[in-house]
Amino acid sequence: MLKLSQLALATMLGATTSTANASDIDAMQAQLNLLQQQMQQLQQQLAAEKAKQAKVNQQLEEQNITIAKQAENNTEAAQSGVKFGGAIRTNYSHTSYSDGNKNRGGDFDFDIFRLNVSGEVGGVLIGGEIRFFDYMTAIKSAWAGYQFADDWQVQAGITKVPFGNDPYNSHNYFFSTNYYIGLEDDHDLGVIFKRQVADNWQLDLGFFKNDELGGVDGYVEDRSHRYSYDIVGSRPVDEGIYAQPTKELGEYNTFTGRYAYYFDHGEGMTTEVGLSALAGGLHDGQDRAGSYNAWALHLNSTINKWNIQLQHGEYDYNLDETNRIAVGSYAFYDSIAASATTSTFNVAYSVPVQWGPVSNLQFYNDYGMIYNKSDESANTWMNVTGVSVAAGGLFTYFDLVHARNQPFVGGSSAGDSDETERRFNINIGYYF
């Protein structure tokens, strides 16, 4: 009986233990199911958050694209339109060739009031400048253009003739000797194709129908009322060098070309080497009277704060039995040899400063000579030592000029003086 009782007790305990283990397994299974449900819920929440964040990112990207497009449109709108500017200039001079000027201690005069326009209207580029003097009004430029390729632009109207160092072959107020024979900052009526600097080279090709006043029979009261120097007639041997020419001439159908290559020497150092040439006809109002041509080799090098300009060339007006040409500009007539050689050498040094409104000083010495003249007149030379001062909207030239047979310095390009003349000049301009 005892053994049976023990067996029964063991059986009961085993059943109780099995029942307890089964209960633990069920509880653990229930917990595992709960955890799986919670994981599924977390995964669903995470997916929802990812979808929400993706939508937010898309909205932000769309907003950024919209803002970029608005900025681009605003930039295009800012770049489009017309801008006006200009300058008012006065001039003081003290000269060696005028006794009255010396006795007065020099003269202070009004120089010019000028207006400039530039910009873009409907994809068409425009540019122009008109100058008002006490004694005349002159249009320097007036053109319309179009950028028909990334590197190419066309301009038509009164535009600059591409020749020599650009934009100027000088640093001073008086330009170089080339200006007074029509080979610096000359503007005529025509069309020009300009290749902007790319792959280290630049090219300008132009065709000019005639000068800016319409040529030999242009409808103007006085052919000397112009900004640029141009041929206006031939000079017989018995005609004065400052007289209005009795035999009128005008340039026409002129082809021009200017090529320049750029060398980089490092940061802030570049050298431009170029070749310019032009050729055209001369007309007397009825028939072709001759031809003319010119060429120049030029160099423009910037080395840190230094700038060096070199130019050498020749010009030739081919007219029968004529060794002297009449030119006109600034409301007076002058004379030049029918052919000659020209050379210039200019050096400048720029100094950034902070002296109140003064931001930059440029010290320079520009020298030019015209020689080997066909009329066998004396050489023309001019040396300008000076400094230009930039101060806000003010720009001032202080020039000490020494010259011989030089226009605006007591002589003429066709003169025969042996005297070296002097002119101290201050030109004060407000540019806006």
Q: How would you write 265-315 as a 3-class SS string? A: EECCEEEEEEEEEEEEEEECCCCEEEEEEEEEEEEEEEECCEEEEEEEEEE
Please give the distance of CA 46 from its chain centroid, rounded to a whole number: 60
63 and 88 co-located in one domain:
no
d(CA 104, CA 376): 37
pTM for the full model? Answer: 0.81
pLDDT at 71: 45
Please identify, among 79, 113, 141, the residue that sits at the C-terminal boundary of a domain: 79
- Which residues is 271 bridged to in the sheet? 263, 301
Give the 3-state secondary structure percentages of the chain, helix then strand then coil, rounded to 5.
20, 50, 25
**What is the full per-residue pLDDT of the chain (432 aa) written as tens digits?**
434 344 443 444 344 444 445 566 766 677 777 767 776 776 776 666 665 555 545 554 555 544 444 444 444 444 568 999 999 999 999 999 999 999 999 999 999 999 999 999 999 999 999 999 999 999 999 999 999 999 999 999 999 999 999 999 999 999 999 999 999 999 999 999 999 998 999 999 999 999 999 999 999 999 999 999 999 999 998 999 999 999 999 999 999 999 999 999 888 799 999 999 999 999 999 999 999 999 999 999 999 999 999 999 999 999 988 999 999 999 999 999 999 999 999 999 999 999 999 999 999 999 999 999 999 999 999 999 999 999 999 999 999 999 999 999 999 999 999 999 999 999 999 999
74 and 134 co-located in one domain:
no
pLDDT at 406: 98
CA distances from 199 to 182, 192, 202 (A): 31, 21, 8
CA distances from 223 to 215, 219, 244, 332 (A): 9, 9, 10, 9
CA distances from 89 to 19, 130, 174, 295, 394 (A): 114, 14, 14, 33, 10
63 and 39 co-located in one domain:
yes
Task: Give the angle subtended at the CA of 61 by the CAs of 57 and 64, to the nearest 5°.
Answer: 140
d(CA 409, CA 417): 12
33 and 154 co-located in one domain:
no
Residue in the structure block whose two tokens are 């067996």? 7
140 and 178 co-located in one domain:
yes
19 and 154 co-located in one domain:
no
Number of domains in the chain: 2
104 and 11 co-located in one domain:
no
- Which residues is 278 bridged to in the sheet? 256, 294
75 and 223 co-located in one domain:
no
pLDDT at 80: 62
Please identify, among 79, 107, 136, the residue that sits at the C-terminal boundary of a domain: 79
pLDDT at 47: 64
Show the domain range for 120: 83-431
Please identify, among 29, 59, 79, the residue that sits at the C-terminal boundary of a domain: 79
154 and 199 co-located in one domain:
yes
CB 241, CB 334: distance < 8 Å? yes
CB 85, CB 116: distance < 8 Å? yes
pLDDT at 253: 98
CB 122, CB 166: distance < 8 Å? no
Would you state the structure tokens that stand for residue 400, as one six-digit string?
């000490």
Residue in the structure block whose two tokens are 């330009």? 175
114 and 59 co-located in one domain:
no
Instruction: Give residue 189's region: left, alpha or beta (phi > 0; psi -120 to 50).
Output: beta
16 and 124 co-located in one domain:
no
pLDDT at 46: 65
Q: Please report, for the domain that includes residue 230, its CATH number.
A: 2.40.160.10
96 and 65 co-located in one domain:
no
